[in-house]
Amino acid sequence: MSWDLVIRSGRVVDGTGMKSFTADVAVKDGRIARVGRVNESALREIDADGCWVTPGFIDVHTHYDVQLDWDPLATPSSWHGVTTALAGNCGFTLAPAKPEDVGWLAGMLSRVEGMSRAALNEGLRFKGGSFGDYWSRFDGKLGINVGSFVGHCAVRRWVMGDDASEREATPAEIEAMQQLVRESMQQGAMGFSTSQIEVHVGEDGREVPSNHASSEEIVALASVLAEFNRGSVEIIPHSFAQGYDESDRQLLKDIYRVSGRPIELNILVPNPHHPMGWRATLDFCNEAFEEGIRLHPMFTTNQLELHLKLSDTFVFDEMLAWREALTRPEPERSNALRDPAMRARMRAEFDDPASRAISFEWKGLEVEAVADPSHASWIGRTVPQLAEARGIDPLDAFLDISLEENLETRWQTRLDEVARQFIHHVVATSVVDPIVMPGSSDGGAHLASFVGADYTTRLLTEWVPEPLTLEHAVWRNTLMPATVHGIENRGVLREGAFADILVMDPDRLAVGKVRLVKDFPADTERYVVDAEGYVASIVNGQLLLENGQHSGALPGQVLRGG
């Protein structure tokens, strides 16, 4: 027997959670052919002595839908060991789309997921069509494997046109939407995604289509999955920050009742106005599991600091006056931000804890970078410090400074020690809970605000060996997401499975620097985070990355359920 690839003498962590062991792993025709002793030689050999050998990581919460058009490696996720990603989360897909709606959907995606509109205009190649049309474009052109949910907003826009952003659907419209979800599932969708949070506002300043759906509509669309007996539902209900109100709890139970499919919930995170909302979420999901209802809340291990500029941020969109001002084109946007009456409304909203789910206080916001070098002295100073120096109120200081630089001043949130410790406590609690899914990277999204693609590496470097064993942490990054999302024959190192394999040097494994780079279409910027210690990343039996360098191969597949 001759093998295509043999990885020799590594510590095999097979993804099941079983205790690791030393073995060789042989690959033939894109599959794992042997785990054990391999005496024969191979076309290619990797010496893994002293290294961990694991299944490739699976990130189920990304928005790489568009980025793949110019970055088939889905960076920086692939640098952090991800060999399979699910796109199309939160209800925001570009397909199905009528040709005349592609621009509108791209504008929505740009706003809610923080992708530069200029980059999308230049980089997006899709001209409209079905879910299957969108993804068949990528056959043979991907570095990693990618599957996608079909998104509620696209489905709603197709059926209801502009009314999708205005009102509830009629029974006939709901039926037409069910048919579109059905066709998308037939074309390989990995499930159905939706969200109902107020911060999601399109370019036109209106809440996104899925926010206008009744519970009946959401349940009806999820019920289509039962016809296929596969796929999952990904949802962020509107009251997620508080741990779900009664009607959202009923909605989640009803989705499970009609679909029988696992439900993925974003995200377990402490919120200053609902500090224990994450705990309520965790308790509710565990109680639901006791009743047999599969609810998987998601946690993230990456830092929760945000970067923002008033020229393009979404983080204030749940406050109506802020939204009204910040979704206007220039120069009306700047004029609105100067207007004292508008400022009074904005101040009232900012000071009202009930109006914000994503929030921070002025003292936690500081200047990260200035557009005009003569303002360099502002860097590192918080909003209250800058306000005091000017003898004005913090909101006025924040807006005045931004306006002095055409809204291009870059701000950064900073967590204080108490907040840091609290977040540590939240993650420490979540990371050991059997139902909780790691993730929330939002890879491909919020490019100028934060980067969460390093969670896979952080799970192994910051939470192993305590409180997690290596084997358990690898299971969380591999077979757990594969199982919940029906990603077959991946996430595990066993004979016959697809050969998605990582070789890692535990002594070097680390999260590297967060960097701002300008490598996107239209010369736009994004944050990336480097990784160290990934010796080899193998996708479908082919070497994709060797010590972080791309081999040139594009062995990834479009995953199609069923």
Write out the residues near Zn ion by the rule CB under 5 A. Answer: 89-90, 442
Give the CA angle between residues 338, 344, 350 to the nearest 5°: 105
Q: Give the CA radius of gyration of the chain.
A: 23
Q: Which is nearer to Zn ion, 190 or 365 (CB)?
A: 190
3-state secondary structure of 261: coil
The label of the residue with tokens 């010590």 reads 547
Q: Which is nearer to Zn ion, 90 or 357 (CB)?
A: 90
Strands 232-236 and 263-266: parallel
Q: Which is nearer to Zn ion, 442 or 454 (CB)?
A: 442
Q: Which of 365, 520, 343, 376 is nearest to 447 (CA)?
A: 520
Between the alpha carbon of residue 77 and those of residues 58, 396, 476, 533, the distances in Å are 10, 38, 16, 14
Residues 20, 52: Cα–Cα separation, whole Å: 9
| Min dist. Cβ of residue 264 to Zn ion (A) | 11
| Cβ-contact 67, 496 below 8 angstroms | no
| Cβ-contact 33, 6 below 8 angstroms | no
What string of H, E and C letters represents the secondary structure of 200-231? CECCCCCECHHHHCCHHHHHHHHHHHHHCCCC
Q: List the structure tokens of 427.
A: 């993650």
3-state secondary structure of 238: coil
Q: Which is nearer to Zn ion, 90 or 559 (CB)?
A: 90
| Min dist. Cβ of residue 528 to Zn ion (A) | 18
Q: Which is nearer to Zn ion, 111 or 343 (CB)?
A: 111
* Alpha helix segments (H runs only) across 28-162: 102-112, 117-123, 131-136, 152-160
Give the CA angle between residues 252, 258, 259 to the nearest 5°: 85
Q: Which is nearer to Zn ion, 109 or 544 (CB)?
A: 109
Q: Which is nearer to Zn ion, 71 or 442 (CB)?
A: 442
| Min dist. Cβ of residue 16 to Zn ion (A) | 28
- What residue is closest to Zn ion based on CB? 90
Q: Which is nearer to Zn ion, 169 or 252 (CB)?
A: 252
3-state secondary structure of 400: helix
Q: List the structure tokens of 123.
A: 């980089």
Q: Which is nearer to Zn ion, 146 or 509 (CB)?
A: 146
Amino acid at 472: H
Q: Which is nearer to Zn ion, 151 or 384 (CB)?
A: 151
Q: Which is nearer to Zn ion, 271 or 542 (CB)?
A: 271
Residues 225, 230: Cα–Cα separation, whole Å: 7
Phi then psi for residue 299, to 5 deg, are -125, 165
| Min dist. Cβ of residue 282 to Zn ion (A) | 20
Give the DSSP H/E element, type plus range, for residue 411. strand 410-413
Q: Which is nearer to Zn ion, 312 or 442 (CB)?
A: 442
| Min dist. Cβ of residue 150 to Zn ion (A) | 15
Residues 482, 476: Cα–Cα separation, whole Å: 10
| Min dist. Cβ of residue 256 to Zn ion (A) | 21
| Cβ-contact 95, 147 below 8 angstroms | no
| Min dist. Cβ of residue 453 to Zn ion (A) | 13
| Min dist. Cβ of residue 149 to Zn ion (A) | 10
| Min dist. Cβ of residue 34 to Zn ion (A) | 39
Q: Which is nearer to Zn ion, 90 or 383 (CB)?
A: 90
| Min dist. Cβ of residue 90 to Zn ion (A) | 4
Residues 360, 216: Cα–Cα separation, whole Å: 34
Residues 94, 96: Cα–Cα separation, whole Å: 6
Count the neighbouring beta carbons within 10 Å of the beta carbon of residue 495.
12
Between the alpha carbon of residue 390 and those of residues 348, 361, 363, 404, the distances in Å are 21, 19, 16, 14
According to DSSP, the residues that pair with 265 across neighbouring strands are 235, 297
3-state secondary structure of 497: coil
Give the DSSP H/E element, type plus range, for residue 387. helix 383-390
